[in-house]
Amino acid sequence: MPIGARRVLRGDRQALARLISQVENRDPSALPSVRALYPYSGRATVVGITGPLGVGKSSLVNLLLAHLRSDGKRIGIVAVDPSSPFSGGSILGDRIRLARPPGDDGVFIRSMAARGHAGGVALATRETVRLLDAFGMDVVLVETVGSGQADVEIHEVASTSVVVVVPHLGDEVQSLKAGLFEIADVFSVNKSDLPGADSAARYLSEMTQLVPVTGSWRPVVIQTSTVAPRGIPELWEAVTRHEAYLDSSGSRQTRDRQRLTDEILGLVREQVDAQLLRALEREPDLQALLDRVVAREIDPHSAAERLLGEVRRPR
């Protein structure tokens, strides 16, 4: 077993942090350790926390963390930062929103920048979750901003998805976030100290009756607040009920299998991409090919066929 992997299994936080950085940068030197640690994963409960910006997801995650720690659970947190894919970080300053309680070795918090293409973040997030799992965390919370593509990813990483909303969402926001209805296993109506929380929770409960579900699980709606903490144990109870449902219904197996298929396909795509880029750099012919497309002598599909030939050619 590679030394990095062995250190992670021994509880070496620095080795874990280093490995996660390599995974985030899609550095191939992480591969031996990532592979060696795979058999040690699969025990953690992976919970996604998503929802629009400004609904208080980070505060909720902080309270969940405290709740789970008081229960003796070891917690990993992955915060996927929706920063610019161009700059690799928000130009308006990084928001540091989550911090490990000083001296608490039962917590490991990591934020990941959503740089590169969407698929790359999904792969890096999956592998990071698995590393935290192999490190011995009982629960891994994955926090992300629900915005289009990212919603799907949380669904692909977590076994239970908590969607956080607030009592008053504009019509347009609701329309945008329609995808959130389909991934939610549990709704948290956060900031429930605000007026309208009851009717929002009622509205969501009604909505969950309209959304087609596979299986018999109906999303649970929990009112929470982080100002005067409220509903946190109930929220976690709903998560564990969903986890129990996954086991009793047999859908955990189906989902895990689907998730692994997606991941493996993602890894193949990543390989193919790397090969394509290498082929583009290496082959002067391919540059000439591109020139001909620019000149509109041949069309992009013909060029793609030629490139595909390059990928098929054994190295």
Q: Which is nearer to a second copy, 104 or 299 (CB)?
A: 299
**CB 118 within 8 Å of CB 54:** no
Strand partners, 234: none
Output the CA torsion sign for 47, 53, 56, 62: positive
User: With respect to a second copy, which residue has the nearer C-beta, 104 or 274?
Assistant: 274
The nearer residue to a second copy, 3 or 308, going by C-beta atoms, is: 308
Quote the DSSP letter at residue 106. T
d(CA 138, CA 282): 46
Nearer to a second copy, 102 or 314 (CB): 314
As measured in angstroms, the least distance from the Cβ of 168 to a second copy is 14
Q: Say how many C-beta atoms besides its own lie within 10 A of residue 205's C-beta.
A: 15
Residue nearer to a second copy on the CB measure, 249 or 271:
271
Work out how close the CB of 136 gets to a second copy at its nearest, in angstroms, rounded to a whole number: 16
Give the sheet arrangement for strand 220-223, strand by strand.
107-113, 75-81, 139-144, 45-50, 160-165, 186-189, 220-223
